[in-house]
Amino acid sequence: MPDHSKTLAEGRYRVRKASLDKDLRKIQHLEDETRAASSGLLAPGIAIIFLALTALYATLQAGAQTEAAVLVAAAVLAGYMALNIGANDVANNVGPAVGARAMTMIGALIIAAFFESAGALLAGGDVVKTISKGIVSPAAVSDGGTFIIAMMAALCAAAVWVNLATWIGAPVSTTHAVVGGVVGAGISAVGAAAVNWPVMAAIAASWVISPFMGGVIAALFLAFVKANIVYRDDKIAAARIWVPGLVALMAACFTAYLMVKGVSKIYHPSTLHIIGVSLAVLILSFVALKPLIHRQSQGLENRNQSLRKLFRLPLIVSAALLSFAHGANDVANAVGPLAGILHALETGEVSGKVHLPIWIMVIGAVGISLGLFLFGPRLIRTVGEQITRMNPIRAFCVALSAAITVLVASWLGLPVSSTHIAVGAVFGVGFYREHFIAHSKIRRRYLLRKGRDPDADVEKKMNDQDVIRRKLVRRSHFTMIVGAWVITVPAAATLAAITYAILQLVM
pLDDT band (50, 70, 90) for residue 312: confident
Residue range 128-135: mean pLDDT, rounded: 69
- Residue 75: predicted pLDDT: 94
Any idea which of 53-57, 265-269, 412-416, 464-468 has the lowest mean pLDDT?
Answer: 464-468
Mean pLDDT on 23-49: 63
What is the Cα–Cα distance from 254 to 277, expressed in whole angstroms? 11
Query: Residue 461 carries which DSSP code?
Result: G
DSSP tag of 136: B
With cut-offs at 50, 70 and 90, classify the pLDDT of residue 14.
low
Question: Residue 450 — very low, low, confident or very high, per pLDDT cuts 50/70/90?
Answer: low
Percentage of residues in the chain having pLDDT higher than 70: 80
Residue span of the structural domain in which 359 resides: 44-439+473-506
Burial 243-272 (b: 16+ CB within 10 A, else e): bbebbbbbbbbbbbbbbbbbbbbeeebeee
483 vs 6, more confident: 483
Instruction: List CB contacts of 436: < 8 A, sequence separation 6 or more.
Output: 223, 226, 443
Give the CA distances from residue 412 to residues 221, 269, 294, 408, 427, in Å, rounded to whole numbers and listed in that order: 21, 17, 38, 6, 23
pLDDT average, residue stretch 355-377? 90
Q: Using the predicted structure, report yes or no on whether residue 204 has a pLDDT greater than 60.
A: yes
Q: Which pLDDT score, from 0 to 100, does residue 256 have?
A: 86
The pLDDT, as a whole number, for residue 122 is: 78
Region 481-495: mean pLDDT is 92
Question: Would you tell me how many other CB atoms lie within 10 Å of the CB of residue 238?
Answer: 18
Helix (H) or strand (E) segment spanning residue 126 = none
Q: How confident is the model at residue 384 (pLDDT cuts 50, 70, 90)?
A: confident
Collect all residues with Cβ–Cβ distance below 8 Å to 293 and sequence separation of at least 6: 239, 240, 243, 244, 247, 310
Q: Residue 353 phi/psi, 5° resolution?
A: -130, 135
Q: What is the pLDDT of residue 469?
A: 45
**What is the C-alpha separation between 324 and 121, in angstroms, rounded?**
10
Give the rounded percent of residues in the chain with a pLDDT score beyond 90: 30
d(CA 374, CA 366): 12
Calculate the CA 390 to chain-centre distance: 16
Q: Give a yes or no: residue 447 inside a domain.
A: no
What pLDDT sits at residue 224?
A: 92
Domain count across the chain: 1
- Whether residue 458 is predicted with pLDDT greater than 50 in this model: the reply is no
Residue-level pLDDT at 433: 82
The band of 31, judged by pLDDT with boundaries at 50, 70 and 90, is very low
pLDDT of residue 16: 55
Backbone phi, then psi, for 232, in 5-degree steps? -100, 150
Using the predicted structure, report yes or no on whether residue 23 has a pLDDT greater than 80. Answer: no
Does any domain span residue 147? yes
Mean pLDDT of 130-153: 79
pLDDT score of 306 more than 90: no
What's the average model confidence in pLDDT over 108-113? 91
Q: Please check whether residue 461 lies inside any domain of the structure.
A: no
Whether the predicted pLDDT of 435 surpasses 80: no
Residue 196 falls within a domain, yes or no?
yes
Better-scored residue on pLDDT, 45 or 13: 45
pLDDT at residue number 137: 76
Q: Which of 8-22, 57-71, 126-140, 257-271 has the lowest mean pLDDT?
A: 8-22
The pLDDT, as a whole number, for residue 468 is 45
By the 10 Å C-beta count (0-12 exposed, 13-18 middle, 19+ buried), 174 is classed as: buried
Rounded Cα gap, residues 218 and 253, in angstroms: 14
Q: What is the DSSP string of 4-61?
A: HHHHHHHHHHHHHHHHHHHHHHHHHHHHHHHHHHHHHHHHHHHHHHHHHHHHHHHHHH
- Reported as a pLDDT band with limits 50, 70 and 90, residue 78 is very high
Degrees, nearest 5: CA angle 447-452-453 = 95
What is the maximum span of the chain, computed from C-alpha positions, in angstroms? 108
Q: What is the pLDDT of residues 225-246, one digit of tens each?
A: 988 998 888 889 999 999 999 9
- Whether 37 is covered by a domain: the verdict is no
Residue 471 has pLDDT above 70, yes or no: no
CA dihedral 237, 241, 246, 251 (to 10 degrees): 120
CA 188 to chain centre: 30
Residue 255: which pLDDT band, with cuts at 50, 70 and 90? confident
What local confidence, expressed as pLDDT, does residue 34 receive? 40
CA 425, CA 421: separation in Å to the nearest integer? 6
For residue 21, is it within any domain? no
Other C-beta atoms within 10 Å of 276: how many?
A: 12
For residue 451, is it within any domain?
Answer: no
Q: What is the CA radius of gyration of the chain?
A: 27
250 and 445 Cβ atoms separated by less than 8 Å:
no
User: In this predicted model, which residue has the larger pLDDT, 137 or 405?
Assistant: 405
What pLDDT is stored for residue 144 in this prediction?
79
- Tell me which range, 227-231, 352-356, 454-458, is most confidently predicted by mean pLDDT: 227-231
Burial 280-290 (b: 16+ CB within 10 A, else e): ebbeebbeebb
pLDDT at site 37: 40
| Span of 85-99, 133-147, 247-261, 301-315 with lowest mean pLDDT | 133-147
Asked if pLDDT for residue 437 goes beyond 80, the answer is no
What is the pLDDT averaged over residues 110-126? 83
Res. 74: pLDDT tops 80: yes
Distance CA 159, CA 337 (A): 12
In a domain, 77, yes or no: yes
